[in-house]
Amino acid sequence: MNTKQNIESLRDELRQHNYNYYILDNPTISDYEFDVKLKELQALEDAHPEFFDANSPTQRVGGAITKNFNTVVHNFRMYSLDNSYSKDDLLDWEKRIKKMVDGDVHYTCELKYDGASMNLTYEDGKLVRAVTRGDGVQGDEVTANVKTINTVPLQLKGDYPQRFDIRGEIILPIEGFLKMNEERIANDEEPYRNPRNTASGSLKLQDSAEVAKRPLECLLYSIKGNKLNISTQFEGLEKARAWGFKVPKEAKLVNSIEEVLAYVEYWDTHRHNLPYEIDGVVVKVNSLFQQDELGFTAKYPRWAMAYKFKAEQVSTRLNEITYQVGRTGAITPVANLEPVQLAGTIVKRASLHNADQIEKLDIREGDEVFVEKGGEIIPKIIAVDLTKRLINSEPTSYINSCPKCETQLVRPEGEAKHYCPNYNGCPPQVIGRIQHYISRKAMDIEGLGGETVALLVNEGLIANYADLYDLTVEQVIPLERMAEKSAENLVNGIKASKQIPFERVLFALGIRYVGETVAKKLAKHYKSIDALMVASTLDLVSIDEIGERIAESVVEFFSAEENKIIMERLKTYGVQLKISADKLANQTDKLKGLSIVVSGVFETVSRNELKKLIEDNGGKVSSSISSKTSYLVAGDKMGPSKRTKAENLNISILTESDFLKLVK
């Protein structure tokens, strides 16, 4: 055997031992024997650098230093999951599913691991990239750090696809977490708060050798790619396990919602026996064909639901009520609490929502209150312990003027929140609007963060987002923690934002009630800011899914003189305030006013391409058949009940070929 063959043989042998130890939990050699073989391989690789392999078992120890984590766009968006907190929620979810798909529905039940979401990309069986979830559209590349995790295979086994993504959760098992804290306490260091945050923080350490010292694991649960030859979620889990991934065996295939509920009940009581933390169960429609039929909302897949276990509660003292001002001027009361441990974190603050909530619970400063942390990031107060109320307690009087600019607050009719109407003069509103404008899902301005925006406003360099485009390197350099290179990056990042497409610019403007989805609808309908600015409330409400509240907010925004001036300035700077010529060339009104349902498997184009064709030609994609449906585009394997329903309602049924001719 020559040197290269010897190296390859050792690598294969060590990979198999790694698999036996970390995935199968069935080691066949001792740790000492493994270390001897690893050192033998390391010596051979050091002596023959021409045979270097980035995915060799010797690369697990880390050592790469990452100063900046590159932002990478996901090949397939990483959606968050819709949450349920009761069995009734799951039953309602099942009813919605049954209305949208034909045939029996089976489910895969999996544990909801409490860690940091990760997307791994493999090519030819080798790990090529690891990217954090980020905002779901893009995340940070942390490949060097993830390579140090033993349960992430660097080289796959078996009949894996040529290229695919696989998703999982980076977790820190409880035993390893406790051991890390024992060492920190012994060294007079502050112990880590909880396994989840420690796992997440580990991924952003600059030195991968430090990450390698932490007993992180990666539990996989979802495969994404094209032509993977996988037909169900459960089959995907089994294949991933065969390829070398750690896929928890607690996942279960069930045939009914009753079995789903039994699974949930079992793990609600047995979760504390697991070696890692979970906070619920994830239920997925098992058939990938049915998943495709169900599709996605703007935020969630319709085919999955997370059942969250009952929220933990604690009691603590409410020391003070303060008030925050949001970018829209909305006032949010905040309870400042005596610090208390809750669901693995130290809680110091909780949302009080609005004046009605304070009055309903009769919450007062000095009260002993019960705090809960459910699906919300910010804990909330759910009740007051009246038996411990102070004798001299005074009812809470809600503020009537802005805590930042002292302007008299207003409360619009029918709304629960109070607002500060000082749109241009209230600092948190000015700063908040610009921070929203530069955010990832909006203009995504590289080199400019929220703290820097606050500095720029406070130093008088900017007063609105149009002012950003006048900034120079010379103006920015004197700012705190700003060097010449970072000042150049900031100014260049602002220039680059001029290429951001119109729908994202529209979202970035921060018009109340205009989120990402509404911004896309408005951009698609009006095609330019000029057309949108002169639209009336009546015009706007005629657009599908645009209600009166959104319409009134848009009209109010563009009727303000200061906003008209800002729009003109953005135009002169070259910001994209209309749909590009390329996009316009692909759009028509051929299907305007038509509601179309797509069902089945298609040959010439994919289902997503069909949906895009419908939208590009002015139509609306609907998920279920009703009397308002204009056409049903039927592919292979479409369920019989959809065809029957369409025929009963006299809805025209088009083949894939018919539809493509229609939009040609």
How many Cβ atoms sit within 10 Å of the Cβ of residue 167? Answer: 17
Question: Cα-flanking dihedrals φ and ψ of residue 474, to 5°?
Answer: -65, -35
DSSP labels, 314-358: EEEEEEEEEEEE-TTSBEEEEEEEEEEEETTEEEEEEE--SHHHH
| Structure token digits, residue 654 | 């088009």
Q: Which of 95, 98, 112, 592 is catalytic?
A: 112
Pair 442, 436: CB distance under 8 Å: yes
Q: Tokens 């698999």 belong to which residue?
A: 19
Angle at 571 between CA 567 and CA 575, to 5 degrees: 105
Q: What is the separation, in whole angstroms, between the first and last Cα of the chain?
A: 62
| Region for 290 from its dihedrals, namely left if φ exceeds 0, alpha if ψ lies in -120 to 50, beta otherwise | alpha
Q: Residue 308 catalytic?
A: no
**Residues 498, 503, 507, 508, Cα dihedral to 10°:** 0
> Is residue 131 packed enough to be buried (19+ CB in 10 Å), middle (13-18) or exposed (0-12)?
buried
| Structure token digits, residue 158 | 């078996």
Angle at 276 between CA 275 and CA 281, to 5 degrees: 115
Q: How far is 430 from 472, CA to CA, in rounded Å? A: 20
Please report, as a single letter, which amino acid is at residue 347: V
* Residue 199, CB-side half-sphere exposure with 13 Å CA sphere: 27
Nearest one of 435, 413, 414 to 325, comparing CA atoms: 435
Pair 653, 643: CB distance under 8 Å: yes
Active-site positions read 112
